[in-house]
């Protein structure tokens, strides 16, 4: 799991007990393509080797451009918001990046400051800029160093959005569930394999394990190409905190524009250079 610095970024803690829920989703096997068309580590009845799938997933992203979109939302049973974190990272092949993030809710992560707030960061080898909206003010900052960890793409990819990186995040997430192969997407040209998980047997899908007493009704849905790229995965579960509060947690990770993401100077570049 994440280091102590990482834990400060994600508010809702993990769990100490995984309890079966009365309405836990049941994996119903569906007709699947031949084994030759399945992703690495996946067999007709589900994921046999999460490590192989995760390694293939990371290999498809290594050295190429992509856009990562991640969200984590926590709500109370009445639907009111406890915390929300949205992250979008556009990463070029040369690892220039444009990151945007927003936090909402009284218990949202504080790495951007007191919520609600939103900010954008842009960096190349020489320049590191920030644009942040705080209330009715917009603040621009220009940093002299881009090689400090918090100014790097690795910070946004492996600390804010994911657990260490694409391989570890996927392996610990998928490896936490008993999985089956579900119905394919409705688009007949979409050949991705639909992975359905229930019956969580480890806590790898939980960000932190210090504040939650039990987890129930945890489910996973993921879409993987035959090459192993898992371009979409989503986990939903109900958590009971140590103080007795019940919350519903959803986390979604999506990879888009793989090999087709460009990172240009943001529209606010000149203003940030002048004011920062």
pLDDT at 88: 99
Q: How many domains does the chain have?
A: 1
Pairing label, strands 97-104, 246-256: unpaired
Determine contact, residues 179/195, Cβ cutoff 8 Å.
yes
From first to last of its 276 residues, what are the pLDDT tens digits of the chain? 444 333 333 333 333 345 544 444 444 444 444 555 899 999 999 999 999 999 999 999 999 999 999 999 999 999 999 999 999 999 999 999 999 999 999 999 999 999 999 999 999 988 999 999 988 899 999 987 666 777 899 999 999 999 999 999 999 999 999 999 998 777 767 889 999 999 999 888 988 777 888 999 999 999 999 999 999 999 999 999 989 999 999 999 999 999 999 999 999 999 999 987
pLDDT at 35: 54
- What are all long-range contacts of 126-135, with beta carbons under 8 Å and residues at least 24 apart? 127/273, 129/266, 129/268, 129/269, 129/272, 129/273, 129/276, 130/272, 130/276, 131/266, 131/268, 131/272
pLDDT at 163: 93
pLDDT at 91: 98
pLDDT, tens only, 142-192: 987 666 777 899 999 999 999 999 999 999 999 999 999 998 777 767 889
The domain in which residue 39 lies consists of 4-275
pLDDT at 147: 61
Tokens read off for 74: 């926590």
pLDDT at 218: 97
pTM: 0.85
pLDDT at 159: 94
Alpha-carbon distance 276 to 264, whole Å?
19
Of the chain, the percentage scoring pLDDT greater than 90 comes to 72
pLDDT at 204: 86
Alpha-carbon distance 156 to 87, whole Å?
8
Tokens read off for 276: 């920062």
């Amino acid at each position: 799991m994440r280091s102590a610095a990482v834990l400060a970024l994600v508010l809702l803690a993990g769990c100490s007990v995984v309890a079966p829920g009365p309405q836990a989703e049941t994996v119903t096997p569906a007709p699947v393509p031949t084994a030759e068309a399945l992703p690495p580590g996946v067999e007709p009845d589900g994921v046999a080797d999460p490590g192989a799938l995760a390694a293939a997933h990371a290999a498809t992203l290594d050295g190429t451009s992509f856009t990562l979109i991640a969200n984590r939302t926590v709500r109370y049973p009445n639907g009111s918001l406890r915390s929300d974190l949205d992250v979008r990272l556009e990463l070029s092949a040369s690892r220039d990046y444009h990151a945007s993030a927003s936090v909402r809710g009284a218990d949202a992560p504080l790495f951007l400051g007191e919520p609600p707030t939103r900010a954008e960061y842009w960096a190349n080898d020489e320049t590191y800029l920030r644009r942040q909206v705080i209330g009715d003010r917009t603040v621009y900052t220009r940093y002299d160093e881009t090689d400090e960890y918090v100014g790097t793409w690795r910070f946004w990819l492996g600390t804010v959005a994911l657990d260490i990186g694409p391989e570890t995040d996927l392996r610990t997430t998928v490896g936490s569930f008993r999985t089956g192969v579900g119905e394919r997407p409705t688009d007949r040209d979409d050949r991705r394999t639909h992975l359905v998980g229930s019956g969580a047997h480890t806590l790898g899908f939980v960000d932190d394990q210090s504040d939650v007493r039990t987890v129930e009704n945890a489910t996973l849905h993921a879409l993987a190409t035959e090459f192993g790229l898992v371009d979409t995965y989503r986990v939903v579960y109900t958590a009971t905190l140590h103080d007795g509060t019940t919350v519903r947690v959803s986390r979604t990770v999506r990879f888009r524009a793989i090999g087709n993401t460009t990172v240009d100077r943001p529209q606010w570049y000149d203003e940030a250079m002048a004011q920062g």
